[in-house]
Structure 1
Amino acid sequence: MAEESPDEVGRRTYHLEDITVTARGVPAPASLTPGGIGVVKEDDLREQGGSSVVESLARIPGVSRSNDSPWSADVIIRGMTRDSVVVLVDGMRVNMTTDINGRFGLVPAQQIERIEVLKGPISALYGSGSVGGVVNIITKGGSFTDTPQWRGGAGISGTSNPAGGSLSVSLGYSTPSSWVRGSVTSRDHDDYLDGDGDRVENSQYADISGSLAGALKWSDEHQTALSFSATQARDVGIPGTGTAPLPVGAYVTLTRNDSKRMEVRHSFTPSGSLLLESSLRFGYQFIERKPRIDHFPSGPVTRIEPWADHETVSADWRNRFGLGDHLLTVGLEAWNWHMTSGREKKLKNGSFLKDKPTPTTTQHSLGAYMEDDWSFAPKWVLNVGGRVDQVSIDNDETATVQSGSRDDVSWAGHLGLTHAIFESWSLTGLVASSYRTPNILELFKNINLGGGVTEIGNADLEPERSIFLETGAHYAGRTLGADFSLYANFVDDLIVSAPVSPTLCQMDNVSSAEIYGAEAAAQWEFMAGWELFGNAAYARGRDVGAGEPLRFIPPFNALAGLRQTLENGFWWSGETVMVAGQHETPEDVEHSNFHALFNARCGFGFEASGFKHDLGLTINNLLDRQYASYLATSRGVDLMEPGISVVGSWNVSF
């Protein structure tokens, strides 16, 4: 091969390894972090042009998309989803118990700086629900600058499928001792079309989001940051999906899905001390959800309007110490989640019925945690973590549920080992255990499923408990990065709906689950400006109690692509996404077929008149393939995914 010229060498971008904070509470490179992680950056979200952030998350091997709606699909991490995956926004837990999820619609992509994913219970920092993993959405903020500066930007995008677009504006000001930043984003999209050109009814959405954040540096050692954000979503369609057993043909629409989030964080970074940093965070979050269920094909009911308000107050005190060969993180976390709900039914005779299928409930959690990175020998690092939580739940009496309370004391822990065998090679291993406390619905619901069948909660449920194993090999070179991992997750006391009689089902700890898998990813800049990238993931899971495969195990999937970046700021990429058929399914779930998608992207970045411009064009599902995702949460229908979609964007910043 001919030797590269100095210009070609200068054009090399070099492989930059992902650095995460979520996994250990301190910045750490991926190759030296026991357990699987993934990162989605701001550029990734913009270039991939998806209608939700979950589409970008699904490019991480081991992370899949479960289609509730284009506005807010959910994630499946190595076969675990919903309440088995903790979702954070800037480190604050999103508490919301509902069969139709909405966590990933609360923050638009335009306001996100990066997303960090933990694949499995690889960290003891996060308590209940981390048996499947953690997703931390980190929003854009500001920074202190040596001189006063104004910074801002605007972005506009248009999408052909679903037809619609978005508009975002941001403005910030910074000094050596302070900064402030505000932003507004609006999105509006119609129903999407599938690969045959047929409209997928009730898949529209519209929302508007705003944020305001700032920070003050009191001294070299003390600084305080404040933030406020709000989202209002209206008429969000759920196209034929939802885990609630409703009649085929009934529409589910989020007529209102609003959220407000406030946070105050103070950090203390002394010099010349064993204490490297101490931070104290207070947070408040309020989520208001009002679904509407209508278009019933038969029966006396014409419309059902449930509602729920979720209020969470939280605090976290985290401290980092440098103790020779030890980097120690210890802290306390507390949160209080209060949920009120109700339901109204409109009958064909014009009358209304009101009830409370779920009682007003308050959940308290108090936890103490610890993480220690110990460099006990050259090229060897031992990571040990542990957490103990007390979780108490109190509920009010309703017509169908007695008042009561319960207390659980649970623990999580892990032991990880990293060996840097060569300059760029490392081996990792991890043993971990985590738990999931039963949610409010599982404990206290009393819901009429139709057909004379009622499903009730169980106040005596035990927390689910997992044992997790993972080993990996990692290479982090200048132009090549590669990762390979094997994992197993064993979950006991799995909570499922168990039949008690022909007319009654009750939640119970009657099962256990076993999930196994392997993942690989690589990124290689084989010559200046040219990059090959790809990944693959395989998983198998079984419900041991039922003696059948688990429902949300993704089929084998792989991604492969090529990207070129030119000297003039122009870049292009092409890729294929392949998903095998899933034939290991529960008895009442249909098999799925193989499908392959092709996506193409290009962009151009340049500066003019003191502004930086980024133009982008994305074509997803280039061949307009008709396909259905096995992981869609459908109600007895095959929910078709979007056909060809063209996204154009223009972003300006200064």
Structure 2
Amino acid sequence: MNKLWLLTTVFSVFTAFGSSGQTGTKQEIRNDSIPLSDKNIRIGEVVVSSLRMNRKMKELPTSMSVVEAYDYQRQSSLTLSNVLNAEPGISMGSDGVWATSINVRGLSENRLVTLIDGNRIETATDLTASFSMIDVNDIERVEVIKGAQSSLYGTGAMGGIVNIITKDGHFSNRPYLSGNVISGFASANKLFSNHAAINTGADKWYLRLSGTYGKADDIRTPEGKLPNSQFTTSNISAKVGFQPINNHVLKVQFQRNWSTDVGIPGGAAFPGPAEATYSDIGRQLLNASYEITNISNKLTSLKLNYFNQNILRDVLMKPNTVAEATLPNGNTQRTTPEKITPTGKHLTNGVQLQSTWNLNDKNVFIAGIDYWGRKLTTEREKYVTVEVLNPEETIIKTNNIVRGETPIPESNFNSAGLFLQNESHLLNNRLTLITGGRVDGIWIKNEQGFDVDYLIINGTQNDSPPTQRITFEKGTENNVSWSANAGLLYQIFKDADISLNLARSFRAPSLEERFKYIDLGNYVRLGNPALKPESGYSADLGLRIWNPKLCLQSGVFVNQISNMIVESPGEFIYTLTSESTPDTIPALINSNVSKALLYGFDFKLDYNFYDNLVVFLSGAYVRGKDTKENENLPLIPPLNGQLGIRYSNNKAGSVEFSLAGAAKQDKIADGETETDAYTRLDMTVATKKFNLGATHLQIFSGIDNITNTSYTNHLSTNRGSISVEPGQNIFVRLNFSF
């Protein structure tokens, strides 16, 4: 079958029905129908909330990318990260297709704060797979602040904030009922996905319910299938809003995202021949907020917010290795690791009280306190078969061993902070100044840790085996950190402005960095409970033009990090529980020893050069160095960008071609792999909504990697065996709304 058959079909529909497309009502637009904007270029009119205030994007002195629901509908959107990858300064990494992450200006997840509707997922760790536990069909928009904003969100925001805002219901003067059904298919991994949502409400209440189910096979690459890259995923969410009295709003939401049989084809934590999957991996969020508005002439809002987020990761790993050794009596001992079953439970609770004050028509002041805590519980069992064979290779003895372990001792991370932010408008509103600061207290508590908790040999359990090591003593650690930022926005012309941001940020070490213990035989990789927070100083200078014919967002930045946490050679001093004399083994120990410097630029340009034709261009570059060791930093994306053209027709829809690419990355850290330059051609088509009586239909389709180019994403190679990205992918998505 011709590979372009699906695209030709969509073009036929696009042409035949173009004259009958209609725009939905206001109520439909506020829900799940996806309109095509009458404007060819977005000029910063979208309202964002990540600075804890609702402002138009162009009114804030912040380097920011915003990706809306429409962007996720019109692209293949295998995960949240795929669409963000097209934004300048944001790069995607992956362990296959399901488990993806992003990198913002050279800093990965462990130096970003990720939020869902303003609630933390997990902070200061790169093991979250957090971007894969969000249903793209439920996304209203994603706001990415590029740069340090720790004065609002505390620890971890050295590289930026990723605020994922999901779709919500709304109050209405009259009762309403609306909804939609989205069905999609992607050819690269035979992904079938179905989503349904329903919205109802009135003037005092609303309810939104939604659900999604998707199933995918192994992903196809130009060099064949990538084994063990399949997944099955589901999502349910509910949001309820009440207005008990005027100016009082109570909102409650629940989200449950769950995936099973998720292949992990990459991952440096696993040996090369191993086969690893998430047998279960899921996230549950319960969130409630109560807001009172217009309390007085000065106090405009008081909001209390609570959230509980629980993440479970169950891994099944089959090592697929066999080790043999010759015994002194001439027999052979054959050791076969059958399977390993790590489990991690991550529970996060948080509460926040925020007040907003309109001191006068030129000044808005925000003050608040927040607390959040994370509890980590891990366990692991290793199933090993040990066989003894005689010289004739006959098995004369078999031992079945189960080794019970706690990779990271049960531990708690707690953070409490006071934050302040002031927004001032000066010089007849041509100058906007936003300043903020916060102080945080952080305290850590952990239980005693052991190298092995128990051994079960042929059904008999021993809770105190003679080789049991004490890895971490029970203890507590406390830190106090502070952060501050200042942002300036000056309107130089009617549609042009310049911005300057200065910030001091910090990142408290994660529980994983403090308490990890990985035994590699002749040495161990070890955490350090006494790690100090990393601190950073950053600056960002931007030039922006907001014009219906020409829109430009550009910036240059520098980010310096001290007390950077890296692994340093040392010795692990341990004591066996059966002895009192300490012993040592070589180790790589997390330490505050390095200084990092990152600098670069990124830009995004849209030019409406003729009628409904728009050319768009973007690019980003970042250089990262360990200035103390004079070495390259790891996980630094190469120079990359995108060039494309988009045509829109009010009676039909839009079509877009884009060429994305990256330069060769040879400025790599020790242990990384160089990657070559590449380009990839993509195409998307989006129709207007067709009126089908009581319902409307909108069709999205396209082709990723049209030429089936074989290429390597540099950030993916750093996690293990992944070296080739997905090949040609034809996708189609139908959105029925009522």
TM-score range, shorter chain: over 0.9
Alpha-carbon distance in structure 2 between the residues aligned to 1:591 and 1:304: 32
SS of residue matched to 1:80: coil
Alpha-carbon distance in structure 2 between the residues aligned to 1:18 and 1:535: 20
1:275 Cα deviation from its structure 2 partner: 1.1
TM-score w.r.t. the length of structure 2 is 0.85
Alpha-carbon distance in structure 2 between the residues aligned to 1:451 and 1:642: 36
- 2:412 match: 362
Distance 1:20 1:566, change over 3 A: closer
- 1:423 match: 494
Greater radius of gyration (CA): 2
Alpha-carbon distance in structure 2 between the residues aligned to 1:382 and 1:182: 40
Alpha-carbon distance in structure 1 between the residues aligned to 2:75 and 2:108: 23
Matches of residues 25-64 of structure 1 in structure 2 within 5 Å? 25-64=52-91
SS of residue matched to 2:153: coil
Distance 1:327 1:164, change over 3 A: same
Matched, 1:215 2:229: no
Matched, 1:321 2:357: yes
SS of residue matched to 1:515: strand
Matches of residues 272-311 of structure 1 in structure 2 within 5 Å? 273-299=297-323, 300=335, 301-311=337-347
Query: Any conservation in 1 of the 2:125–2:510 contact (CA below 8 Å)?
Result: no
Alpha-carbon distance in structure 2 between the residues aligned to 1:119 and 1:96: 17
- 1:143 match: 170
1:77-114, CA deviations, whole angstroms, 9 ceiling, x for partnerless residues?
01111211111000000127766431011111011111
Alpha-carbon distance in structure 2 between the residues aligned to 1:401 and 1:575: 52
1:320 Cα deviation from its structure 2 partner: 1.1
- 1:103 match: 130
1:540-595, CA deviations, whole angstroms, 9 ceiling, x for partnerless residues?
11012332111111101111111111232332110000111101112332211010
- 1:632 match: 716
Query: Any conservation in 2 of the 1:498–1:508 contact (CA below 8 Å)?
Result: yes
Alpha-carbon distance in structure 2 between the residues aligned to 1:561 and 1:520: 14
- 1:580 match: 663
Residue type of the alignment partner of 1:485: G
Which of 471, 474, 485 aligns to 1:414? It is: 485
Distance 1:121 1:354, change over 3 A: same
Alpha-carbon distance in structure 2 between the residues aligned to 1:454 and 1:37: 41
1:644 Cα deviation from its structure 2 partner: 0.4
Distance 1:334 1:402, change over 3 A: same
Alpha-carbon distance in structure 2 between the residues aligned to 1:71 and 1:205: 7
Distance 1:103 1:652, change over 3 A: same
1:607 Cα deviation from its structure 2 partner: 1.7
Query: Any conservation in 1 of the 2:123–2:510 contact (CA below 8 Å)?
Result: no
Matches of residues 401-550 of structure 1 in structure 2 within 5 Å? 401-448=472-519, 450-501=520-571, 503-550=586-633
Matched, 1:242 2:267: yes
1:141-183, CA deviations, whole angstroms, 9 ceiling, x for partnerless residues?
1011111000111010011011121000111111011100100
- 1:6 match: none
Which of 339, 342, 366 aligns to 2:379? It is: 342
Which of 139, 151, 165 aligns to 2:192? It is: 165
Matched, 1:554 2:604: no
SS of residue matched to 1:625: coil
Matched, 1:591 2:674: yes
Indicate the percent of aligned positions where both proteins have the same amino acid: 26
Residue type of the alignment partner of 1:128: T
1:285 Cα deviation from its structure 2 partner: 0.9
1:403-441, CA deviations, whole angstroms, 9 ceiling, x for partnerless residues?
100111111111111111111111111110111100111
Residue type of the alignment partner of 2:701: L
Matches of residues 641-652 of structure 1 in structure 2 within 5 Å? 641-652=725-736
Alpha-carbon distance in structure 2 between the residues aligned to 1:546 and 1:275: 51
SS of residue matched to 2:72: helix
Alpha-carbon distance in structure 1 between the residues aligned to 2:403 and 2:50: 48
- 2:425 match: 375
Residue type of the alignment partner of 1:384: T
Alpha-carbon distance in structure 2 between the residues aligned to 1:11 and 1:334: 43
Aligned residues: 641
Residue type of the alignment partner of 2:423: D
Alpha-carbon distance in structure 2 between the residues aligned to 1:109 and 1:164: 14
Query: Any conservation in 1 of the 2:295–2:301 contact (CA below 8 Å)?
Result: no
Matches of residues 150-189 of structure 1 in structure 2 within 5 Å? 150-189=177-216
Alpha-carbon distance in structure 1 between the residues aligned to 2:599 and 2:477: 33
Residue type of the alignment partner of 2:421: E
Residue type of the alignment partner of 1:628: T
Query: Any conservation in 1 of the 2:108–2:126 contact (CA below 8 Å)?
Result: no
SS of residue matched to 1:420: strand
Alpha-carbon distance in structure 2 between the residues aligned to 1:93 and 1:653: 32
- 2:440 match: 389
Greater Cα shift, 98-107 or 505-514: 98-107
Residue type of the alignment partner of 2:654: W
Residue type of the alignment partner of 2:692: A
Alpha-carbon distance in structure 1 between the residues aligned to 2:553 and 2:728: 32
Query: Any conservation in 1 of the 2:681–2:707 contact (CA below 8 Å)?
Result: yes
Query: Any conservation in 2 of the 1:247–1:296 contact (CA below 8 Å)?
Result: no
Query: Any conservation in 1 of the 2:635–2:718 contact (CA below 8 Å)?
Result: no
1:505 Cα deviation from its structure 2 partner: 1.2
SS of residue matched to 2:137: helix
SS of residue matched to 1:34: coil
TM-score w.r.t. the length of structure 1 is 0.95
Alignment RMSD (CA, Å): 1.7
- 2:121 match: 94
Query: Any conservation in 2 of the 1:598–1:620 contact (CA below 8 Å)?
Result: yes
1:272 Cα deviation from its structure 2 partner: 5.1
Alpha-carbon distance in structure 1 between the residues aligned to 2:344 and 2:98: 19
1:264-300, CA deviations, whole angstroms, 9 ceiling, x for partnerless residues?
1111111652111111111111111111221433444
Residue type of the alignment partner of 2:419: Y
Residue type of the alignment partner of 1:207: T
Distance 1:37 1:243, change over 3 A: farther
Distance 1:347 1:275, change over 3 A: same
Query: Any conservation in 2 of the 1:521–1:535 contact (CA below 8 Å)?
Result: yes
Query: Any conservation in 1 of the 2:515–2:529 contact (CA below 8 Å)?
Result: yes
- 1:570 match: 653
Alpha-carbon distance in structure 1 between the residues aligned to 2:380 and 2:638: 37
Alpha-carbon distance in structure 2 between the residues aligned to 1:498 and 1:296: 31
Alpha-carbon distance in structure 1 between the residues aligned to 2:426 and 2:40: 34
- 2:281 match: 257
1:43 Cα deviation from its structure 2 partner: 0.5
Residue type of the alignment partner of 1:385: G
Alpha-carbon distance in structure 2 between the residues aligned to 1:591 and 1:261: 40
Which of 677, 682, 697 aligns to 1:613? It is: 697
Residue type of the alignment partner of 1:248: G
